[in-house]
């Protein structure tokens, strides 16, 4: 984006407001501090090789599923190649046409006559040929932009009629502004991807082998159960996984559509109307302002200092200035500077942008830092699970083939030389099946995907909260935000502006819209200045009705004030011609226009920040309409007026003008485009105070942030006194005593400080007034160097660097430009600060939900692994068979993620401090809860496994039935323990685990479905699951065993846990000396204390595998 600002014609060569734009932190530093492949500070602009590293380090059983929602590195490279090819192709065609055109000029060839198309005297082929090669001569042959407008039946002032029949004719003749999209994955594609899990493939092979042997030895009637039950369980896992993944995919497709649907203004029937980019048709007249995206191919009608960034189409970063000689505007490019209007000549697939997007419409995904960290956790747990499974496999095979394994009747299963090969192979297959199933349970493939699930759910819900997420990672990063740098206008305020005070003719007029007592000369000049120096417009319906005023809120307020003074907008505008425009600049805080009157008189009108315009004035118009020199006394009077209005939280805007010698005006078009409007010796006309009330809920939202440990800072272009008054009203400053110099600063003062001074000031800063976009960038960089996780709001094109630099860029949906939106991570659709706070809640919710799921899944992992390992080593048999373990895997993986990863955010989340980026994923509280539940489950179920027959009084039953009934009870109790523990996982650190349960229908539904299916498996699918029907007494025993987990969890929450993370105890035990780190290499995303702690951990954990380090973190 930096190229946009370098090429701006309005940027002065020695502009002190154009500071540095270096990043506060580089990925190289990040890599040196944290070589762990599973730690990436931010995936926002991470290098490809860094993303490749963690993929290579991850233990993955199903790559197509695990990496589905991450960036496809291969496709990313293909995308870049396609971009290069299309750009090269377009440039080659253009060069060929230019060569052909040169030959035709030499030979005297003429341009082909336009071929009518429907009701229009020119067709899409002729329009495309003119535009494709930017053939200016062909354009002139067709009569220039005026000739094309006549052929397209467009009025360049009033646009097209815009009725339904007219729009239909244009779409039929020239097409619509859409392009073919690649279809999303079908449901069967997700089924196919779910089938590619290595462990499931092995289980299917084992099921087929078991099926063949069973039918051979026991006949088809009884022999198909073992193999068939495993195959059915695998099929169930595949189908449920595919359904869950498919639903996520549909949510992402819907959100992607929302991101692409840009809204913009067009002129139809003489009025400006807002439409979707998809509704633009050939012949539309589109106003363009700085930061807008060119919505279709078109020809410039008129423009003022219009500069276009064509890098998205050409790959070149140079800014191209557009004028009558270079009028071609390409779809998809951005307006870097100036303003203008364009005539649309090509839409949809008939444009180069449409061709480009139709080839790149598929979203390739994006990993998030938490997703990468969870891949590290899954990798570590997977290594442990593989080790355990291999141990179980070896122990069971050794016991089996050495004759130490007995069947349910007490007979030795394998006797060397006597047992048939078929029985031996069948026994070995069952052992392999159990070992492989342990791997299925132990390797949590669904853990990283749970992030995607909770993000997809959060993104959908955030849309209802007026926040459109453009980058997945921003969702979770928002939970770590320690400060929010917010704009004032429209975010903290309502953006409903009205002029409530005015000083005209050297005195205050009351009421402010009264022109009585003002001389005609003064009123005429004031009205002229308001009308010509405006980026908005006034539409008066021909048949009467309410006047419609368009433009920015400030423009609308001043235009409305002008109309009350007697301004007739169209009449004033048509009485003069515009020579040159200096668009309002958020750095210079003013905008100007040069006009030529009928008598060749030239006037230059300025409007902008009151104190800046006042400083450029040397005289003023008094109440008699006479020009009077601006003495010190009058300057003091106006300064006092501005100060008083600013203290009353009013935005102060001054209006001034000057006459200019006609002969000094550049006559050459190029010189005129570069002409710097004179901004000295101005005549002061008026200063107005514009009221923009604070949003009703903003004070409560700011206080909620402060309680949550998130500091709100206001960064505004307004007068510092206005900013101070609004900050007090919003609660950013709690009192007058709080509004000290250390908390308030002007942009020019802040930018003049050294880097170290800026860091010190930024830490205390609450309000920055009269700031330029670059001051906002410098503030973001200073805060990040201090260790803050920074969220910043922005709406202008010049805010793009700050939005890009911040950890989370928040663009405004209503007032924000397309450039700002493209540089942002989240778009706040209603421009409301309360919506920003809701995003913080959702960000914290994402992290909290993942932790709930980790606690739940690890409890199941630990319990299942320990029970099967101990039982296998001691008795040669396992109480939980393959089918049962697959059902447990389904509960803890897909269903568990659905239940726990979709918990809505609660107010409790905003009573915590922000989540540190390197804060351990498994906190001490989670370790406590996890160990209590796992130890309880392992203890109870192992007692049942070894002494269950006696406890349940099954000694008198047949050995086979007694074993099956005992194992069924163990299986039933184990599953019910997980269901009860799912409630505990909802609130890891709260006593009341049922709070908010009534609102979470998905959780209740999943628990109900799990219980019903468990009952069906136990009572009716005994042949498949190797279970027997349980008596109601044993069902009560199972429920009682599960229920005990609730009071245990309650008691556990009163057990204090140390504040120091568990991983820190390793460093104390091993007594490892901390490394010294130079101040300059300190990670900018860690607080000093957090940095010190993590360096200690890092010393110890560097001796462990990378995945283990991340797991501890």
Q: Which residues are catalytic?
A: 487
- Alpha-carbon 582 to chain mean position: 34
Residue at token pair 């009701």: 119
Report how far residue 893's alpha carbon sits from residue 54's, in angstroms, rounded to the nearest whole number: 22
Cβ-count burial 122-160 (b if 16+ within 10 Å, e if not): bbbebbbebbbbebbebbebbeebebbbebbebebeebb
On the CB side of 539, how many CA atoms lie within 13 Å of its CA? Answer: 15
For residues 371 and 400, what is the distance between their CA atoms, to the nearest angstrom?
42
What Å distances lie between residue 473 and 29, 43, 454, 712, 793, CA to CA? 20, 7, 12, 22, 17
* CA-angle at 1026, arms to 1022 and 1028, nearest 5°: 50
The answer to whether the CB of 38 falls within 8 A of the CB of 373 is: yes
At residue 2, φ and ψ (nearest 5 deg) are -60, -30
Q: What 3-state DSSP class applies to 388?
A: helix
Element (H, E) at 713: strand 711-715
Cα dist. 464→55, 57, 461, 485, 830 in Å? Answer: 34, 38, 5, 24, 11
Spatial distance between the Cα atoms of 593 and 602, rounded to a whole number of angstroms: 10
CA distance 344 to 285: 6
Q: In 3D, which of 577, 559, 556 has the Cα closest to residue 568? A: 559
Contacts of 267 (CB under 8 A, 6+ apart): 157, 158, 159, 273, 284, 285, 286, 287, 341
Distance CA 535, CA 550 (A): 9
Place of tokens 């244009």: 170
Torsion over CA: 812, 817, 818, 819 (sign): negative
Q: Give the closest residue to 561 by CA, choosing from 591, 589, 586, 536.
A: 536
Cβ atoms within 10 A of the Cβ of 719, count? 25
Q: How far apart are CA 400 and CA 717, in angstroms?
A: 80
Q: How many CB atoms lie within 10 A of CB 188?
A: 10
Burial class (CB in 10 A: 0-12, 13-18, 19+), 1079: exposed
What value does the CA radius of gyration of the chain take, rounded to a whole number of Å?
36
Residue 396 phi/psi, 5° resolution? -65, -40
In contact, 737 and 760? CB cutoff 8 Å:
no
Question: Does residue 125 have a cis bond before it (omega within 30 degrees)?
Answer: no
| Structure tokens that stand for 67 in this block | 């990496």
DSSP for 832-882, written as a single string? -HHHHHHHHHHHHHHHHHHHHHHHHHHHHHHHHHHHHHHHHHHHS--SS-H
The residues facing 276 across adjacent strands are: 263
Backbone angles phi, psi at 946, to 5 degrees: -90, -30
CA distances 186 to 70, 508, 839, 974, Å, are: 18, 69, 31, 36
């Amino acid at each position: 984006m930096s190229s946009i600002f370098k090429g701006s014609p309005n940027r002065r060569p020695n502009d002190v407001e154009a500071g540095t734009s270096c990043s506060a932190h580089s990925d190289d530093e990040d890599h040196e501090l944290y070589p762990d492949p599973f730690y990436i500070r931010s995936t926002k602009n991470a290098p490809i090789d860094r993303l490749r590293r963690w993929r290579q380090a991850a233990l993955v059983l199903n790559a197509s599923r695990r990496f589905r929602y991450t960036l496809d590195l291969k496709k990313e490279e293909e995308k870049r190649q396609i971009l290069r090819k299309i750009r090269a192709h377009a440039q080659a065609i253009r060069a060929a046409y230019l060569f052909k055109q040169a030959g035709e000029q030499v030979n005297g060839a003429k341009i082909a006559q336009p071929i009518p198309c429907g009701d229009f005297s020119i067709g899409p082929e002729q329009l495309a040929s003119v535009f494709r090669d930017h053939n200016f001569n062909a354009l002139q042959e067709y009569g220039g932009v005026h000739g094309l407008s006549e052929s397209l039946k467009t009025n360049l002032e009033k646009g097209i009629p815009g009725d339904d029949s007219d729009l239909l004719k244009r779409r039929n003749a020239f097409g619509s502004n859409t392009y073919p999209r690649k279809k999303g994955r079908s449901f069967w594609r997700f089924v196919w991807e779910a089938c590619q899990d290595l462990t499931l493939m092995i289980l299917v092979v084992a099921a087929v082998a078991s099926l063949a042997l069973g039918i051979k030895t026991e006949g088809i009637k009884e022999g198909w159960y073992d193999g068939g039950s495993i195959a059915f369980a695998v099929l169930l896992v595949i189908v449920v996984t595919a359904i869950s993944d498919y639903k996520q995919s549909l949510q992402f497709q819907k959100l992607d559509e929302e991101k692409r649907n840009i809204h913009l203004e067009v002129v139809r029937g003489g009025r400006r109307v807002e439409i979707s980019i998809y509704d633009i048709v050939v012949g539309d007249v589109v106003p363009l302002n700085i930061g807008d995206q060119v919505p279709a191919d078109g020809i410039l009608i008129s423009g003022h200092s219009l500069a276009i960034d064509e890098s998205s189409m050409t790959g070149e970063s140079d800014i191209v200035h557009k004028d009558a000689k270079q009028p071609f505007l390409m779809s998809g490019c951005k307006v870097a500077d100036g303003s203008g209007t364009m005539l649309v000549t090509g839409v949809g697939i008939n444009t180069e942008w449409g061709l480009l997007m139709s080839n790149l419409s598929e979203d390739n995904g994006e990993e998030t830092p938490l997703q990468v960290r969870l891949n590290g956790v899954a990798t570590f747990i997977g290594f442990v699970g593989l080790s355990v499974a291999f141990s179980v496999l070896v122990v069971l095979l050794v016991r089996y083939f050495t004759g130490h394994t007995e069947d349910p009747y007490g007979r030795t299963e394998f006797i060397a030389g006597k047992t048939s090969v078929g029985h031996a192979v069948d026994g070995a297959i069952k052992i392999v099946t159990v070992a492989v199933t342990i791997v299925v349970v132990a390797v949590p493939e669904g853990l990283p995907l749970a992030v995607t699930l909770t993000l997809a759910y959060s993104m959908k819900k955030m849309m209802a909260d007026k926040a459109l997420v453009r980058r997945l990672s921003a969702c979770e990063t928002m939970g770590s935000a320690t400060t929010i740098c917010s704009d004032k206008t429209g975010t903290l305020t309502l953006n409903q502006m009205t002029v409530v005070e005015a000083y005209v003719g050297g005195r205050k007029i009351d009421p402010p819209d009264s022109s009585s007592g003002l001389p005609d000369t003064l009123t005429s000049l004031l009205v002229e200045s308001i009308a010509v120096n405006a980026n908005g417009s006034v539409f008066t319906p021909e048949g009467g009705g309410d006047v419609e005023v368009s433009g920015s809120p400030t423009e609308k307020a001043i235009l409305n004030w002008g109309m009350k003074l007697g301004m007739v907008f169209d009449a004033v505008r048509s009485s003069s011609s515009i020579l040159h425009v200096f668009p309002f600049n958020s750095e210079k805080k003013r905008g100007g226009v040069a006009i030529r009157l009928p008598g060749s008189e030239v006037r230059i009108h300025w409007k902008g920040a009151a104190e800046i315009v006042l400083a450029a004035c040397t005289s003023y118009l008094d109440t008699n309409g006479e020009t009077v020199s601006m003495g010190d006394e009058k300057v003091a009077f106006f300064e006092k007026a501005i100060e008083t209005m600013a203290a009353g939280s009013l935005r102060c805007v001054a209006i001034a003008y000057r006459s200019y010698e006609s002969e000094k005006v550049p006559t050459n078009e190029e010189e005129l485009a570069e002409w710097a409007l004179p901004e000295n010796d101005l005549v002061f006309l008026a200063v107005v105070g514009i009221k923009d009330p604070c949003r009703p809920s903003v004070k409560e939202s700011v206080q909620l942030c402060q309680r949550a440990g998130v500091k709100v800072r206001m960064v505004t272009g307004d007068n510092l006194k206005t900013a101070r008054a609004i900050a007090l009203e919003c609660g950013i400053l709690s009192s007058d005593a709080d509004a000290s110099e250390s908390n308030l600063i002007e942009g020019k003062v802040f930018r003049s400080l050294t880097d170290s001074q800026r860091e010190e000031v930024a830490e205390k800063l609450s309000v920055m007034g009269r700031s330029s976009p670059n001051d906002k960038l410098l503030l973001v960089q200073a805060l990040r160097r201090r260790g803050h996780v920074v969220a910043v709001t922005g709406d202008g094109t010049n805010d793009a660097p700050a939005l890009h630099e911040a950890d989370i860029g928040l663009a405004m949906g209503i007032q924000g430009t397309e450039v700002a939106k493209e540089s942002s991570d989240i778009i706040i659709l209603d421009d409301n600060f309360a919506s920003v706070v809701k995003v913080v809640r959702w960000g914290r919710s994402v992290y909290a939900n993942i932790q709930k799921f980790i606690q739940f899944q690890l409890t199941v992992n630990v319990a299942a692994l320990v029970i099967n390992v101990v039982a296998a080593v001691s008795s040669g048999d396992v109480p939980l068979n393959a089918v049962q373990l697959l059902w447990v895997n389904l509960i803890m993986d897909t269903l568990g993620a659905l239940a726990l990863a979709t918990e809505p955010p609660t107010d409790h989340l905003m009573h915590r401090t922000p989540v540190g980026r390197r804060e351990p994923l498994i906190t001490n509280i989670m370790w406590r809860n996890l160990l209590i539940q796992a130890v309880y489950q392992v203890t109870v179920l192992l007692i049942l496994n070894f002494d269950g027959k006696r406890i349940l009084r099954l000694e008198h039953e047949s050995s086979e039935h007694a074993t099956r009934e005992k194992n069924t009870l163990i299986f039933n109790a184990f599953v019910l323990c997980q269901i009860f523990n799912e409630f505990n996982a909802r609130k890891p650190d709260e006593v009341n685990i049922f709070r908010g349960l009534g609102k979470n229908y998905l959780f209740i539904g999943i628990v109900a479905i799990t219980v019903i299916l468990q009952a069906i498996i136990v009572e009716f699918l005994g042949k498949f699951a190797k279970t027997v029907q349980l008596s109601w007494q044993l069902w009560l025993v199972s429920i009682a065993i599960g229920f005990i987990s609730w009071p245990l969890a309650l008691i556990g929450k009163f057990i204090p846990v140390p504040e120091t993370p568990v991983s820190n105890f390793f460093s104390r035990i091993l007594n490892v000396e901390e490394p010294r780190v130079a101040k300059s290499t300190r990670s900018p995303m860690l607080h000093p204390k957090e940095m010190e702690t993590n360096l200690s951990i890092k010393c110890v954990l560097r001796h462990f595998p990378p995945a283990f380090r991340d797991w501890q973190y």
